[in-house]
Amino acid sequence: MKKLALHWQILIGMALGVIWGMLASSLGLVDFTTDWIQPFGTIFINLLKLIAVPLVLVSLITGVSSLSDVSRLSRIGSKTIGIYLMTTVVAVVLGLVLVNITEPGKAFSAEKREEFNQEFAATTTQKSSDAAAVEQQGPLQPLVDIVPDNIFGALTNNGAMLQVIFFALLFGIALIMIPPDKAAPVNDFFEGVNLVILKIVDLIMKTAPYGVFALLAGLVVEFAGDDPGSAVELLLVLGYYCLVVIVGLAIMIFAVYPLLAVFVGKTKYKDFFKGIFPAQMLAFSTSSSAATLPVTMECAEKNLGINREITSFVLPLGATINMDGTSLYQSVAAVFIAQAYGIELDIMAQLGIVMTATLASIGAAAVPGAGTVMLVIVLQQAGIPVEGIALILAPDRILDMCRTTVNVTGDATVSMMVARTENQLHPPTETAKV
C-alpha cells in the first residue's frame, strides 16, 4: 500500500468504504459502523480543519511579503479575482443552459413533491431561517464581515476565513513597507512556521486513505440505513436532476478548466489531471475546499510547477471565494425547482439568477453544505418557492462532493493561469506519480 501514489491509496480507501457501507447496511452493522468506524472519518476532517487556518494565515503572509512590491500584489490580486469571477459566470450560465434544455423538474409529479416537502420540512425551515438572517443584513454587511474586530477570535473560527485572509494581507503588506532589516527576522519566523505546518500536512495525509474509508462508509450507511434499497430508490427518483448537475460539473472539469490550463497555462491535458488528481480525490471525500487546501497547494507546487509565491496567495483566496461548482449547482437547482412547481422563468429572472449566484458564491463558506443556504437566497431573489429546496436535499451530500471537486480544480487552474502570466510557472519539482 505504501508503494502506491497517494491518490491511488485514497481511491482504494474510497472504494473499500463504499463496499463496507453497503455490506454494513445488508448485514445489520449500521450501528457498529456509525459508532466505531465513522468517528475516524470525523477525526480526519478535524485534523484538516485544524491546520486550515494556520496554513492560510502563514502561507498568505509569506506569499505577500515575498512579492516585495505593493503594486505587484495589486496586479496579481486583480488578475486572480477577475479570473475567479469569470469562471464563476461561465459555470452559472452553463448550468442554466443545461437545465433549460433538459427540463428535469417537469418529471416530478405533484404527489412526489408533497412527499419530499413533508420528509424534509424541518431542514427546509432551518435553511430558510439561515438565509433570512443573511438577507436582513445591509448591502455593505459582507464588507463589514471581512474586517475582524478581534483577530484571535477569527483565528478560532474556520467560518471566518475571509477575516483571516484580510489580516494576513494587511500583515504581509505592512512587512513589505517596513525597512528590510527589520522585516527579515519576522519573515524568517513565518518561513520556519510555514515549514512546520507543511510537515504537519504531510503527517496528516499519511492517514488520508483510512480517513476517507471511514467517511465513505459512514456516508453510505447514513443514506441506506437498514434498508439499502431505500437509498437506491431515492437516488433513482432524483437521478435525472443529479445527472444534469453532474454533466455540467463534468464539462467544467474535463473541458473548461483543461482548455484554460492548456491554452493559458501551457500545460498538457494529461499532466494537468495527473498533477491535481490527489486534491480532487480528497475534495470529493471531504466536501470542503478549505479542508483540501493543504493538498491543493502541495499538488500545485510539486506536480504542476507553480511557484509558492503564487500558490500561497491565489489558492487560499480561491478556497474562500471561488465556488464554481456551487454556482453551477445553484443555477440548475433553482430552475429545476421552478420547473417542478410549474413556474416559467423569463430571461430577466434567469439573468438575476446569474448575478445572485455569482455574488452568493463569493460569500459561501468553504465547508460542506454552505451552498444550500446560499441557494435559498437565489430562490428568493428569483421568486421561486423556498419550500422547493426539500426536493433536492436527499442527494445534496453526493452532489456537494462533486461540486467541491470542481471548486478545487478551478482553484488550481486559476493559480496556473496567474502563474503563467507572471512567469512563475516552472517544470514540476516532482513528477506526478501514476
Please write the tens of the pLDDT for every residue from 207-262.
878 888 888 788 778 766 555 554 444 455 567 888 999 999 999 999 999 999 99
Cα–Cα dist 153/255, whole Å: 41
Share of the chain above pLDDT 70, in %: 78
**Residue 132 pLDDT greater than 80, yes or no:** no
Q: Which grid coordinates are listed for 314?
A: 491565489
Cell 453526493 sits on residue: 398
> Do residues 95 and 332 make contact, with C-beta atoms less than 8 angstroms apart?
yes
The CA dihedral of 326, 88, 70, 147, to the nearest 10 degrees, is -40
Mean pLDDT, residues 61-83: 79
State the angle between helix axes of 324-340 and 347-363 in degrees (0 to 180), rounded to the nearest 10: 140
Q: Which helix (H) or strand (E) holds 80?
A: helix 70-102
Among 85-94, 127-136, 236-245, top mean pLDDT goes to: 85-94
d(CA 297, CA 63): 12
Range 212-227 burial, b when 16+ CB lie within 10 A, else e: bbbbbbbbbbbbbeee
- Asked whether the predicted pLDDT for residue 406 surpasses 90, the reply is yes
Beta-bridge partner residues of 306: 425
- Is the Cβ–Cβ distance between 431 and 334 less than 8 Å? no
Nearest to 161 by CA among 324, 290, 74, 284: 290
Q: For the residues 389-413, what does the mean pLDDT come to? A: 82
CA–CA distance, 406 with 413 (Å, rounded to integer): 10
Over residues 300-333, the pLDDT tens digits come to 988 999 988 888 888 888 887 788 888 898 889 8
Residue 252 per-residue DSSP state: I
C-alpha pair distances (Å), 207 with each of 6, 47, 48, 275, 333: 10, 10, 11, 20, 35
Summarised one tens digit per residue, pLDDT across range 184-209 is: 899 899 889 888 887 887 788 788 78
Check: CB of residue 366 under 8 Å from CB of residue 290.
yes
Residue 1 pLDDT > 70, yes or no? no
Contact predicate 182/74, CB 8 Å: no
Contact 63, 169 (CB under 8 A): no
The grid cell for 71 is: 503594486
- Greatest mean pLDDT among 76-85, 91-100, 231-240 lies in 91-100
Q: Specify the pLDDT at position 189.
A: 93
Q: Is the model more confident about 319 or about 139?
A: 319
